[in-house]
Structures are given as structure tokens and as C-alpha cells.
A and B are shown apart, each in its own frame.
Chain A
Amino acid sequence: MNDTYGIYAEKWKGKEGPFAILRFFLSEMRRFDPFLVVCFFALPVPGTLGAYLASRLPAWIVDTLAGAGSMKELFLGILLRGLVLLVCEVCADLMRDYIGEDRDFLRDYLTGRFIAHAARMDASQIDREEIREAYASSYASAQNSRGFYEGTGVMRIFTDLLVCLVFSVAIGRVSLLLLAIIVVSVGVNIGLLKAARGVHRKYHGTISAYAKGCAYLTDLTMDPVAGKDIRIYRMADLILKRFDENLKAMEACYSRIHWWYFGRNMTSAVFTLARDAVAYLYLISLLGKGSLSPATFVFLFSGISTLSFHLEYVLRRAMDWNTLEGSAAYFQRFLAVESTWRREEKLTEEEIAEMIQKGVSLTLRYVTFTYPGSEESVISHLTMTVSAGEKLALIGLNGTGKTTLVKLICALLIPDSGEILLCGHPREDFTREQYRRLLCVMFQDSDFLPVTLDENLTGQAEAMEGENAEALTRALSLAGALEVYERLPQKGKTRLGRGVYPDSVEVSGGEKQKLLFARTLYRNAPVTILDEPTSALDPLAEYAMYTNFREAVGGKTVIFISHRLASTRFCDRILLMEKGSIVEEGTHETLLESGGRYAELYEMQSRYYRERAEAERKRSYMEG
């Protein structure tokens, strides 16, 4: 693997472990909303105070009544304590709400963070082994705030920890044995929960596969594209059978899992029974002996369940730490990845301008590429040169690697070996912007973004004026897309994109292809690659495009990829690709003469047209 580029930035190296993760998590939360972090740390105060006062107050009332104080004392005392309790409860509640309502917004924050960084990275890094997992996990976090949402839950531990502390002290002061029993019973409970969850996790992979299958079918049955075939081919029975199979399998899995949970519940019930029995007996005996006032009895009694409850809560939330740790660690790693494009310019503006003026050549030398995880190389030792201003046709059957080749040329993939040069310069000599200025690609399956048409075509959000507007009109008319543009109700201001905004307009396949070609022409890059640009066009539109082709592309260096061998007629040179390398090369005539593969393919496609033309000629001859 090519390792000339540094992968991880210094700030991530060496920073591992729970504290670093916690710091990272808190810093992300602070970026999201600083008040949230304040709540994390401030919540314990009113939270604990409130819990403590709430349990103490009844006891205090009982005590005062027993001690025969005056009614005024009683009332004032209640009012005072009650009001403090009110303030505490209100504050605690508000803060808890503030922390708890954020799943959707966290997702949005993480999405923004993810996209901002992913856009800065370069796409070729995504499939690299070291980065792939981090990328996928960060993507998942952005999708559903996985890990980070659990993290906010984990932060709420602090309150409960404090409550536990307070009550442990209070109970421990009366009886350490009691405290020990409570801790043990909670510990057992949590241990059992962990075991049950472990079982759940073991089945998680299988279950989510079934769930995904059901979700797939659910979406399929409502998809209008699938709907035609489903109705005509009567696929309903098959689909429902598969659905039912999955449901049955899920039933079996969950049944097994829940036996575990049931066992856990039963065992915990027994332990609670034992705990309560011992606690009560002990407290009652103390009460009987008179070493405990009724008020303290009440307090301790409720204190036992409060402590158990909060302790269990703390331990449960602590189990979520693992989820947080995993996701946060990956996210941190993701954010540390830096783009492999060079930052400072090596080639000056003048040099670039000169290159553009003189025309840019493209050279590939012994380029080899294998997809990670695959055994066969898709591209092997491919060598080709396109000189400046040349129009090259690239032909090949499906699966020979043409799309991969295009991706290698535009630096979406990095070759395993060999080099790709623009005007003799390798990719490393260019900054990202410079490379883009020089190279533009029209993919077969491109789609428009849900922004205005003008912005889709030009990349500018501001209104088109002056030179730019002229350039756009020119590009549109050369691409044969001017009519489409004018026909739209709001022309350039029409918003495109399917189903994202309510006012989006959908354009047909042919219209889209013409507009995409216009976009490519507008970009005016000296090297342009067109991948099946006429696949959705009808014969007349296709013909128009071929006729205008040379005028449209002017002096650019062009690679034209197509199945329609008609396109080779207006290209200077033809390359035929097979199994990842170039096997034939020449002009249309020389290739036909040599009678190789190209000739074979051309014959296949043209046969019928020529047969018919000949039959017609014969007929008109016969008819005189």
C-alpha cells in the first residue's frame, strides 16, 4: 500500500484511554451547546438537594409533631423547606429536560460535523483500511447520534452518584451491614442485567439482519418503481412468505433472549426479597429496642429503596459508557484524518494558465489497481497517452474497468502502482482546486443537488450576470439544453432534486443528461471525460449532440466513453479496453482493417443498419 502520505495527525496519536475520550466528548458537546455541559455538572446540586429534602421533610414533620412544637413553628418550617424543595425540583427538572430532549438535534450537529470534515478529506482515503472503520462508525453516529446520545445519559450519572453518596452515608451511619446488603443486591442485579444484555448482543447481529430484511420488504412494497413489477408478476405471495419467515425467526430469537431476561427478573426478585427481609427485620428490631426514632425509621426505609434505585441507575448508565467510548473514539479518529492533497501551491497561477492555454495532455503509465478485498486487479499495467487537444474514444465491454479507470484519473482512487500525469505532473504537484480546474468528468449516473438549476450548473449561488451569464448561455446552447432551460417555469431559479423540497422539479432522463453536459461545458476544463453522455437521449437528440460535439468541446482534451460505436466516428483515436488494459489502438479505419476485436464489435452494431441500407439501395435500383 502506498504510504507516502501521513495518515493520522499528531493530535490523535497517543491520545487514547477513557479520559481522552471524555475530554473529546465534552469538547464536542461544548461546540454543540455550552449550556448543555454546564447542566451536566450543575445538575447534581439541585438534584441531590431535592431528593434529600423530599425524603427528609415528612420525617421532619413527624419529628416536630412528636416533639410538640408550636403550630406556627411547624407551619413556617414546612413553608420554608417546601419552597427550597420547590426551587430545587424546578431547577433539576429544567436541567434534566434540557439534557434529555436532544436526540434529533445531536444528529443534526454530528451530521454537520461529519459532512464538514468529509468534504475536506479526499475521497480516495475512505476505503483505506485504517480509515474505513472510523469513517463508517462516524457516519453511523451522524445518522442516529449513536454513542453521543448515550453519552448524555452517562453524564447524568453525576447527580445520581451524589444522591447515592448522601444516602450511603446516612444509611451506613446506622448500619454498615445494611449498606453492604444493599450494595450487594444491586451488584447482583446489575451483573444479571449485564449477562442478559450480553446474550442480547450476541443475537443482535442476527436480529438486526432480520429486521433489515423486513424493512427492505416494507420499503419495496411501497416503491412505485417496484410496484409495477410486483403487480404484473404477482410477487405478493413470495414477498409475504419471506416476510413471514423473518418474523418467525425474530420470534424465535427474542423468545430465547427473553428467557434470559425473565431469569434475571426472577433472580433479582429473590434477592430483593432477601434484602428487604433483612432490612426490615433489622430496622424493626432497632425500632423496637428504641434506638431508632419513628422519623429516622421512615427516612431509612425510604432511603433503602432510593439508594437501590439510584445505584442501579448509575450502574446501568455506566454500562452505556462502552457505546459512548466506541463511537467517540472512532469519531475522534475520523476528525484527525487530513487530506492528502497538498496545501501550498507548487505550480504557480501563471504555470497553470499556461498549461490551460497550450492544452493539457494526460498520461498513464503502468497503472495497476485492485479493489480492497478483491483478488483480481481491475486495471493492470495500463499505459496510455492522450495528447493535448486530442479526442479519444474509449471502448470496452461492461465490467472491463472503464469506470474504475475514470475514478483513478480524477483521483477518487489511488493506483496501487504506476503513475497518472497531467502535462507530465503527477497528482502530488497539484492542489485540489488546481486539479479540478484542469479535469472535469460527466458521470453516467450523476444527479442534481436540491438547489437551483443555475447553482447546479455553475456552482454559484449568486445571480448570473455579465460574463458568467454569457458563458452559461453558450454552454447550454452547445449542449442542446437551452430549450430545456427556457422551458422551465422559473428557468435558472428552478429548484431541482427529487423529493427533498416540496417545490423541487424533476427533469426527465434525457433533459438531465443534456443539462449535465451543459454543466461540463461550463466548467471548461482542459481535460474532459464523458462517460456514456447519450445513454438517455433519443436518436434525434443523440444525433444533435454528435453533430455539435467538436464545436462544443473546442480544443479540449476529451475522452469519450460509450457503447455506441457511432461515437467513435468523430473521435481522433480509439482505444479498446479489455480485462483492465488497452488491447487495441488506432483510428476507426485502421482498426477495421486490422480486423480485431473492435472490428468485430463494430460489425455487430452496424450490421443491421447497413443491411437495411443495402436492401433499400437494391430496391431503389430494382425499381429503376
Chain B
Amino acid sequence: MSRKELGAYVRLTGILLGRMPAMVIACVLEGLLSGVTPMVYVFLTSAVLDGVSRGESAESLIGRALVGILVMFLIHALYGVSERMVNRRLEYILEQQNRPVSEKSMQLLFETLDNPDIRRERDAITGRFSRFGVLGMVLDGIIHLCANLIVIVSACVLVVPPLRGAAALAVGFPGSYACTFLFLLLILLICIANTHFVHREYRTMSEKYDADIAPLDTVRKYYLRLFATTDTQKDIRVNGLEKTVEREVKRNREAFGRLRKWFLSRNLRRGTCFQGIANLAMILAYLFSAWYGFMGLITLGSVVRFIESVRHVSECMFRLGDSLSQIGYSGMYAIKLLDFMELDLPREGTIPVEKRQDDRFSVSFEHVYFRYPGREDWALEDVTVQFEIGERMALVGRNGSGKTTFIKLLCGLYEVTSGVIRVNGIDIRKYDPKEYMALFGVVFQDFCLPDFRLGEIVSCEEGWEEERLRDAVSRAGLTARMESLHRGADTPIGKGFYGEGENLSGGERQKLAMARAVYRNAAFVILDEPTAALDPEAECQVFSGFDRMVGRKTALYISHRLASCRFCEDILVFDRGRLVQRGSHEELSGKNGLYREMWTAQARYYESSQEFSDKARTMP
């Protein structure tokens, strides 16, 4: 356990104490009480035995016993109370922890989110490894630490009195304080050393185990998920890839087997050493107490008491070591959690966006260069363009030419690597990010609809305005479908959150995403391949409704279906990150260039001649 881990653990405990003080106190209480319980039995036994050896009457013995039992009962009862206080929150502590983690995740800069290392760290926090997450580990650690501390304290208390009595009778070294003290010290040292080495070994083992098993488990889960439903496995079946799958699974299994062998053999070694030494220490204790008893230095009852307390000390040394080890391990995860929560200071940018009634904004890209983090090639290279809001623009180009990147930069999801993007003459980095993004209603090619109720998916808030919703839905062509749902706009879509939603087809989902963009009533409407999943009829609906949908706003339209450029006065043509052409359809199709090439390629097949069909069908 390193200092950093301990520091993180303490810090996290402090935070918990601030947020849920009752819980932390209940944990301490539960720990103390659970630690005290076995000790009371020991006290009781030895008290009774002492009484017997002193020749007390049965009544006084019974009296003493009853007192002890009542104390036990009280402890038991109090324990029940604190256990309830702890457990009922502990059961869902993972979810409680993930709430602020989720909130933080949503506040991160988009490019941080896109970073696989950060995602991996977050996965570690959000509970892949334990049901109770980091906070649960921390609280659990507190409980155990308190329990163990109390056991140690009471064990020491148990040990002292008989030895004190012994010292009074002693003559010379054997019975003196020094001797006893030295002996206890010896046992303590053996236990501490034993515990320390065992736990250090366990910690090293665990770290290697965690690191090694994660990639193996990823592969395992991947292949298992392939067989979840008929749909997920159809590709394998039809292409006869079962052999490949089996071979890969077998290879993975062999790696698992090797890890297991390693882990078990190390574990065995560790266990043997530990138990062996612990038992040797106990033998020493037996010998020592027998010796003292033989010499009459302690009463018979004390012999038992002494043995029991040495056993307890040895056990709690181990458990203390366990606790410390656990604290170290939890500390490691606490570091991850705290680091994650402190990522990304919020961007500056506070200028509110000017509200304009005529929705006329001007946008300009000035020598914009951009490359994605970790990549060497430019996604956008020296792009300079200016346009006014209120226009309709189409972005066309081959796959990977930078169209979607252009949009992402415009929306503020990424920052340019060099160059400037201005809206109304002001660098967009200076605007308040929330207000700026509110200017856009976007349907990305890989859009995401959360599995909430339909109305909420469209409005993105709790509740929605009826009229506005109905309008947006009708413009997207989804009214009939919405009415066919069993609860209309109140129906959950998808099974991820509510567990019992209705499923929409790919095309319907695309329309829903468009309804969302319309509802927003933002100044910019951006549609990225909005008809990719739609059949001809639905596609036609979208095209004819596009005007209705967009109204007076600025529309940016990306599509491979060049027919969609019909309602766009302005077309930007991208090629390998550069803006190569700009103009209207008439201008561009008149010139030689990429646009004409693409247009011709698509339009050919809609020629109506019979000869064309014959030729198409008889090509070699």
C-alpha cells in the first residue's frame, strides 16, 4: 500500500463523511460491534472459569453469566440496527456512485470522451470488478478496519490481567513483566511479518491477475455475445465461420488455463507459508501458556484466556493486514475515481450568442486545419468557406472526405487544430458552449436515441409541449406510427431503460431523430445521411417534406443521394479533407470535376432507355 493510495482512500472517506455522514458512522459502528462480539464470548468463558477456580457459588456464577448474556444481546441488537442502516444503502451503492460519475461524463469535452484510455479507466470505476464499486469497497474497508482494531484492543486487554497477576508471584526472570512482554513481542513480530509478506504477495498477485484477465475476459465476452440471439450469429452460420470461432475460443481458453495455473500455484505457496507460520506461532503460544500454568504463575482459567487471546491476536494481525491490503487496493481505485472526477476543467467562453429574429447568422471557416487526436493525417486541410444562415447547403464527397468532420467542428464538438471558425464574426470558442450548441439541430449519421418515452426523446426534456411535439412528428412523417403505439407519445421506445418499450424499425428511428431536430427549433438544421435507412417511399416523404421541415432555417445537408441536393442552392464538394468545389448544381455539373463525375455515376441508372437496360443486363 503506497502513500498515494492511502491518501486517496482517506480523501474519499472524507468526501463520503461529508455527503453521507450517517452511513459512514453506521459503518464504523457495525465494524466495532461485529469485532466485539466474539470477544465477549471469550470474556464470558474465562470469567466463569475464573469463578469456578476461585470456588464461587453456582448462583454468583449464574449471575455473572446472565450479565454477560444480556450484554451479548444488547450488542446483537445494536448490531442489527447498524447493519440495517448500512446494508440498505450498500446494496445499491454502485448505482449511487455511478450517478455523479455519469454526470461528470456528460460534462467532459467530447474529445476526452472519445479517448479509449479514459473510457477504460471509467469502466474500471463503474463496477466491472465488484458489485459494490469503489465506494462500496471504501465503506467495506472501514467496517473491517474498525472490527479488526477492536479485536486487537480487546485481545490485548484480555492478555494483560492474568499476566499481571503472574508477575506478582514471580521470582526472577521467568515470571517478570519483561519475559511476558518479550514473548508477546515475539508472537506479535511473527504475526506481523507473516501478514506483511502474505499480503504483499497477494497484492502483487492481484494486480497481475487483474491486468492479465481483463483482455482475456473481453475476448470471452465478445464471442459469447455472438451467440446471444439468432440475429447476432447469422453471419457466422451462413459463412461457416464456426470453426474459426471455436478455434479462437479454444486459444483464449488455453490462455485462461495458463493464468489459472499460475494463480493457483502462487496462491498455494502463499497459503502454505501463511498457515504454517501462523500455526507455529500458535504452538509457541500453547507452549508458553502451558509453561506459565505449569509453574503456577497463572490460573487455569487464564491459560485458556491466554491461548484464546493469542489466537485472536494472530488472527487479527492477519485481518489487520487484510484490511490494510484492502485499503491499498481500494485506494488504487479511489485514485482512479478521484482522477476521473477532476478531469477537464470547463472551457472558457462566456459570450452569450446574439439572438436574432431573422435567424440570419454568418459562418466562416478561415484556413481551418483539423486532425483527430492520435492520428497523423489531416481530416480537414486548409478549409476556407463563408456562408450565411438562411441558406440551404449540401455537402457532398466520397467516404472519409471530411464532411462529417466539418459538421462536428461547426457544432463545437471538437476544436480546430489551427485556423478559426467564426459565427457572426466572433470566434466560436469565445461563446458560452451551452448557448452555442443550442443553435444546432443535428441528425448525425450514427445518431443516438435514448430508450425513453417518445415525447421525451423528441423534446429532450422532462415533459413536452403537445402542439410543438405534434408538429415536429408530423413534419418527420411519423404521426401514424406514433398513434399506433399503445400509449402514443408516452410509450417508451426501446428496452434499455424501461425494460418494456416498443421497438421501431431503422427507418422509423431515423424519422424520430429528425423530429427531434425539428422540435428543437434551432437556427441550424444539419442532416447527415438522413435517408440512408429509408425505403424509396419514406425517402420521398423526407425530400418533399424537407422544405416544410426546415422552414427558414439554415440547412446543411450531407448525402450520397445526390438527388437530395435539389433543394440546396449551394453545394460544397469535399475530397480528402479539402474543399474542392463550390457552386449550384447547374454550375458544378457544367464543369469537369468530382461533382459531375459522381452525378453522372448516379444519374445513369435512372435513364429511361430500353437500350440502357439491355446493355446493363448483358455486361460481361
Contacts and interface: CB of A to CB of B under 8 A. Distances in A.
Chains A and B belong together in one complex: yes
User: Which 3 A-B residue pairs are closest in the complex by CB-CB distance?
Assistant: A566-B605, A543-B601, A265-B80
A491 to B, nearest CB: 19
A93 B113 CA distance: 46
Instruction: Give the interface centre of B48, B92, B260, B271 by most chain A CB atoms within 10 Å.
Output: B92
Contacts of A224: 110, 113-114, 119
A601 B536 contact: yes
Contacts of B84: 258-259, 261-262, 265
A408 B52 CA distance: 86
At the interface, is chain A mostly helix, strand, loop or mixed?
A: helix
A86 B283 contact: yes
Interface stretch (A11-19, A117-125, A178-186): A117-125
B287 to A, nearest CB: 6
Given A281-B62, A563-B535, A608 B566 contact: yes
Contacts of A107: 220
A234 B41 contact: no
A389 interface: no
Interface in B435-456: 437-438, 440, 442, 444, 446-448, 450-452, 456
Given A139-B227, A234-B434, A284 B72 contact: no
A111 interface: yes
A604 B613 contact: no
Nearest to A534: B560
A463 interface: no
Nearest to B228: A139
B339 interface: no
A213 B241 contact: no
B272 A94 contact: yes
A142 B507 CA distance: 35
Interface stretch (A146-154, A362-370, A466-474, A546-554): A546-554
A325 B82 CA distance: 35
Contact of B113 (A222, A305, A587): A222
A508 B399 contact: yes
Contacts of B440: 232
- Residue in A243, A501, A587 whose Cβ sees the most chain B Cβ within 10 Å: A243
Contacts of A613: 603, 607
B217 interface: yes
A239 B107 CA distance: 13
B103 interface: yes
A74 B294 contact: yes
Contacts of B498: 213
A236 interface: yes
A496 to B, nearest CB: 12
A62 interface: yes
B287 A540 contact: no
Contacts of A511: 399
Contact of B250 (A112, A451, A539): A112
A82 interface: yes
B247 interface: yes
Given A241-B462, A449-B241, 19 more contacts: A58-B303, A75-B291, A82-B283, A82-B286, A86-B283, A115-B227, A234-B460, A237-B461, A237-B462, A258-B84, A265-B83, A280-B65, A281-B65, A288-B61, A294-B52, A510-B400, A563-B535, A570-B617, A589-B610
Interface in A222-278: 222-244, 246-247, 250-251, 254-255, 257-259, 261-262, 265-266, 269-270, 272-273, 276-277
Contact of A569 (B276, B540, B605, B620): B605
Contacts of A75: 287, 290-291
Interface stretch (B93-101, B165-173, B471-479): B93-101
B462 A238 contact: yes
A499 B216 CA distance: 12
Contact of A66 (B300, B601, B610): B300
Given A61-B286, A71-B294, A221 B102 contact: yes
Given A216-B496, A243-B99, A566 B606 contact: yes
A233 B585 contact: no
A61 B49 CA distance: 14
B245 A65 contact: no
A273 B213 contact: no
A172 to B, nearest CB: 21
A523 B223 contact: no
Contacts of B224: 111, 114-115, 139, 142-143
B280 A86 contact: yes
A222 B300 contact: no
Contacts of B77: 266, 269
B233 interface: yes
A451 B213 contact: no
Given A115-B245, A298-B45, A608-B566, A285 B58 contact: yes
Contacts of A251: 88-89, 92
A221 B450 CA distance: 10
A398 B229 CA distance: 22
19 contacts: A61-B303, A65-B290, A97-B267, A108-B253, A122-B237, A228-B411, A229-B448, A232-B440, A243-B99, A265-B83, A280-B65, A396-B535, A542-B601, A563-B536, A566-B605, A569-B612, A602-B536, A604-B536, A609-B563
A126 B294 contact: no
Nearest to A86: B279
B341 interface: no
Nearest to B48: A284
B505 interface: yes
A612 interface: yes
Interface string B43-87: 001001100110001100110011001101100110111011001
Given A126-B230, A237-B461, A440-B239, A461 B247 contact: yes
Interface in B236-278: 236-250, 252-253, 256, 260, 263-264, 267-268, 271-272, 275-276
Interface in A432-463: 433, 436, 439-441, 443, 446-447, 449-451, 455, 459, 461
A397 B508 CA distance: 12
